[in-house]
Amino acid sequence: MRTLMDVQTLRERMTSGQRTVLLDVRWKLGDGAGDGHNRYRQDHIPGAVYVDLSSQLASAPTIAGGRHPLPEPEVFREAARDWGINNDDVVVAYDDSGGLSAARMWWLLRDGGFDTVYLLDGGLAAWRAGGFELDSGDELASLGNVELGSGHMPRLELADVLDFARTSLLLDARAAERYRGELEPVDPRAGHIPGAVSAPTTGNLAATGHFLPATELAVRFKDLGAEDRDVAVYCGSGINAAHQIAALAEAGIEAALYPGSWSQWCGHPELPIATGEQP
């Protein structure tokens, strides 16, 4: 099952009239309300519909659930129909940050049982580099009829995290300084889940913002200990971890998402934390 689509393939689909639902998922940590939408309105791939990550790809934040809990399945299904998705469509999600936010859309659709969803490799930067046209303003989609469930992708629940970290491979996809506990810009405690291995998501990408080749990703994850072991991933709030899962999929490795991630873990003061470079 392929994860990525390159810009040339997308362009050929568009010019040949093959139906493709394009979703623009621009979001960055620290964005204010409307920031991503404003960047979308300035320029986006023609036909792309804007998706607001915080309100449409997540439920409201809670101490118990973290900063970006997964949306309720029925709420996500209705949003997917509003974006114009039908059951037999091909969906391509992109952003302007190497897929770090668009991967949340990829994971949610796959979790809902929708297989023909891809990340645009290189995102908006690759589209621009190809010299292709851009539009501005808002795009409106016709209502779709997609049927989505939930639970088609593996996930790790809070109660099982420590046991998993002791027996399998739990990857921390945040920046290394956050893993070590030297910096924590958004959550109340610094450090990492005991037993977790540091694996910053940015290590999945080349300098151009494209994913590394599958062979290089396979070597990376083998060096991190992913060979012949169960793997799960967390990050700050479950967003960038989906990107890590997409990279693992490119390398031929299935991995579970811990949706609550560090924002949920550190909100429970009774749970242990570790600091420093070692798991």
Catalytic residues: 235
Angle between helices 240-250 and 102-111 (to 10 degrees): 70
Burial class (CB in 10 A: 0-12, 13-18, 19+), 207: exposed
Please provide the DSSP assignment of 184-208 as one string.
Answer: -SSSSS-SB-TT-EE--GGGGB-TT
Alpha-carbon gap, residue 46 to 173, rounded angstroms: 32
**Beta pairing class for 117-120 and 4-5:** parallel
Residue with tokens 């409201």: 60
Alpha-carbon gap, residue 143 to 140, rounded angstroms: 9
HSE (CB half, 13 Å, CA atoms) of 265?
26
Alpha-carbon gap, residue 105 to 80, rounded angstroms: 10
Tell me the CA distances in angstroms from 153 to 10, 107, 257, one per residue in order: 25, 8, 8
Q: CA nearest 254: which of 170, 160, 153, 173?
A: 153
Alpha-carbon gap, residue 261 to 180, rounded angstroms: 16
